[in-house]
Structure 1
Amino acid sequence: MALNEVENGDAGESLKGFYTWGRAKNYRLGRATDTNNVRRPELVAALAGIDVKQGACGGGHTCVVLLDHRLFVFGYSQYGQVGLGDRVDVNAPSQVKIMKDAHEVHDIVQVACGRYHTIALTASGDVYTWGGGKNGRLGHGDEKIRTLPAKIVALTSPVKFIACGYHSSIAITEQGVYSWGWGAHG
């Protein structure tokens, strides 16, 4: 995929549907086949007519936040980066279930993807991460692989913005910028 991230404003605006193109390996384009590369934007059939707020691409997986704050994922999941509880590639958009105190979270406002990990932000400022934890890129103080979203408890102030590098993550709060992961290059 040539596109790293698409975001469509903060005013509640949305795009109808979601388009992908590029290398199709590991179902990263959200289609039932992973053999046909796509040279021009094509609609992901499962998201046709759906209000999309934001999309983000990792090293082989794709995440889509809908205007109703649900999060859908598809693609490569060797490290659990799609967040569905296993390490199996996902060939069609599937909803991620994020749990907090035994209740499902329905307020995802932003998502970011690294090469093998994913980070999501809720409207209340909580941050959840999952996928490959090498170099501490998930922010949980260890290097474990997590196949389900886990809240970063070390972030005690509400987060306003998140982003990922290939092997790192950041969160911005009113108190400052927090970063974690592989720091060999800055």
Structure 2
Amino acid sequence: MLATFNSSWFKLLGIFTLNQTEVKAFPMRWFGFGFNAFGQICVHEELIKGVWSDAVNEVKVSTPTELDNQVDTSDCCLTTGYQIRASWSRRASLHLDGFVSNESCGKPMKESRGCKDAIVSESYLTLAFSDRLESWDLQKKEQTPSWSMKLKPHSSGPPVNLPLVPGGYIAMKPPLYRLLSPHLRAKSLALSAEHAILLTASGAVYTWGLGSHGQLGHGGLTSEEEPRAVEALWGMPMSCIATGGWHTVCVSDGGDLYVWGWNNSGQLGLPSQGLRKTLLQQSSQLAGAPCQDASTTPTEEPEEEKHEEVFISIQAFPALLDVTPSCEIRTVSCGCRHTAAVTTTGDLYTWGWGDYGQLGHQTFISSDEPQRVEFFREQQMRVVDVVCGAWNTFAAGVKEEVA
């Protein structure tokens, strides 16, 4: 039972699923970068040596580092195929065999045997099986789930796609089970701590929850208790959705990326005044010069050359973001204040808050412009998936075939 496992296991949870045919054809390698205070990235000592000089920097991983997937198979036989999901302090794997395993101690969770899907928050782990749902309270050492629900066979409908469940969805805090109208025909759902975005079978987008930072995309800052259609996207079918702390993104069927919500750290990929001020102050300090008031325009600039840049603090309507002039986006994920997107050509782009190295550019600099993570190009790898924790990023890559 859960009480028999090391308590540190619960500090490193996260999860998901993978098609076995895809694993055999495209052996994926997962890499992590960003916040590592709980060992989510499991950086090897030999990789740390000579790179980081103090304990503080060991919390930060700015270079994509391959995850250690050494699994203790003494109790069961696990395949190498797996995927990742993460919360702020948790990261784990869901193997093809239907086991959730902790990456630090390598022991599979016996209660997860036969698991088809899973989601995790800081407080709860929810497992989906073919016949039931189980939620475990991660703050307690109980030997039984804190909540469970029986499921009918999937023969008459699609399988469970957490956090969606029959008749509703699993929330991040109690009450865990929330109802959804069947008229929405929900296909997928993304949750933040305070708002939600839903994608319907027809490609329409609905949002609800807290709207104080424009994260609902309805043009205002008001909250919504019930799902409300994002009218600005009406008639443009979407294929992928994601949500961060106070921002939301989605990808259209044609590969266009739409963003809205809070942009204080440049997480929308739009010009951020707050971020520009911070970068200017940092550059002034590094140069050894007095920190100039970033809100003023340099007096030495000729009057005729002055121009006022438009900054976006809150984007309350969906805005089309051109990551590059010609690329199409295949999938996207959001951290608390950063965003990561994978193109159809296998490139990974990141932007937003980068203080923990979660942008993967081998720096701790934030950016309000999408930038390609060159590491994967240098390793001749094509990125096929990306999953963001609150302050870190996990990307899956496959080796490019050499003609």
The two structures have a TM-score, normalised by structure 1, of 0.83
CA contact (8 A) 1:16 1:48 kept: no
Residue 160 (structure 1) aligned with residue 384 (structure 2): yes
Shift of 1:86: 2.7
CA contact (8 A) 1:84 1:97 kept: no
CA contact (8 A) 2:197 2:208 kept: no
76 and 123 in structure 1: CA distance in 2 versus 1, 3 angstrom threshold: same
Q: 2:355 aligns with which of 134, 144, 147?
A: 134
CA contact (8 A) 1:15 1:53 kept: no
CA contact (8 A) 2:259 2:268 kept: yes
Letter aligned with residue 124 of structure 1: T
How many Å separate the matches in 2 of 1:133 and 1:123? 24
List aligned pairs for 1:1-186, cutoff 5 A: 3-4=190-191, 15-34=202-221, 36-87=222-273, 88-99=313-324, 104-156=325-377, 157-174=381-398
Q: List per-residue Cα deviations over 1:16-51 (Å, max 9, x = no partner).
A: 3210000001100002210x2111110011011211
How many Å separate the matches in 1 of 2:270 and 2:398? 31
Letter aligned with residue 16 of structure 1: G
How many Å separate the matches in 1 of 2:369 and 2:207? 25
CA contact (8 A) 1:14 1:67 kept: no
Q: List per-residue Cα deviations over 1:26-77 (Å, max 9, x = no partner).
A: 100002210x211111001101121110110000000010000000000011
Shift of 1:106: 3.3
Letter aligned with residue 226 of structure 2: R
Aligned-partner SS, 2:232: helix
Letter aligned with residue 152 of structure 1: V
Q: Highest Rg: 1 or 2?
A: 2
- State the identity %: 30
CA contact (8 A) 2:197 2:205 kept: no
Shift of 1:143: 1.4
Shift of 1:118: 0.1
Letter aligned with residue 172 of structure 1: A
Shift of 1:6: 7.0
How many Å separate the matches in 1 of 2:396 and 2:268? 23
Detail structure 1 runs of 4+ shifted over 6 Å in the superposition. 5-8
Number of aligned pairs?
A: 166
How many Å separate the matches in 2 of 1:14 and 1:146? 34
Shift of 1:145: 1.4
Aligned-partner SS, 1:20: strand
Q: Give unmatched runs, 5+ long, in structure 2.
A: 1-170, 173-189, 274-312
Q: Give unmatched runs, 5+ long, in structure 1.
A: 176-186
CA contact (8 A) 1:84 1:148 kept: yes
168 and 18 in structure 1: CA distance in 2 versus 1, 3 angstrom threshold: same
CA contact (8 A) 2:198 2:206 kept: no
Considering fraction of residues, name the structure with more helix: 2
7 and 173 in structure 1: CA distance in 2 versus 1, 3 angstrom threshold: farther
Considering fraction of residues, name the structure with more strand: 1
CA contact (8 A) 1:21 1:39 kept: yes
CA RMSD of aligned residues (A): 2.1
